[in-house]
Structure 1
Amino acid sequence: MLPFIAGLAAGAVAVVAINNRKEIKEKVIEGASKVQEKAGDVKNCVVEKVEKLKTKELKFVDKEIEDVK
């Protein structure tokens, strides 16, 4: 009896998904574009922080070199 109920539920979900496929597609596309935008923001933030760290490191190395001279 349980497999019959599970099959019935899966079939109902499939029918609902097919009937709403345009809405589902729009939501997926909207979500993907938001994720892509956030990924770009994170990438830019990481690049900025890496550049700041590189600048700090170069200043530190330059100071160490001057101290040795």
Structure 2
Amino acid sequence: MTPVRYARTGRDALGRLVAGTPVVAPNADGRLEVFAPFTGGSIRHIRQVTAGSTAWSDWQSLGSP
């Protein structure tokens, strides 16, 4: 797999910071998916728009554990 440079900062649109180590994995169609804990206790998710792309979705909350 080719390394992907991830240029986003560690903040979401509301200014919350990533509060732990993100986990990255490819999904079935090859897009990378990132899951990360944020300040405030939420888990958030971001993904490549298409496999191999440098375009990413916006962070989406998956709620709090």
Q: TM-score, normalised by structure 1?
A: 0.18
Greater strand share, structure number:
2
**Larger RCO, structures 1/2 (Cα 8 Å, 6+ apart):** 2
More helix by share: 1
TM-score (norm 2): 0.19
Largest Rg, 1 or 2: 1
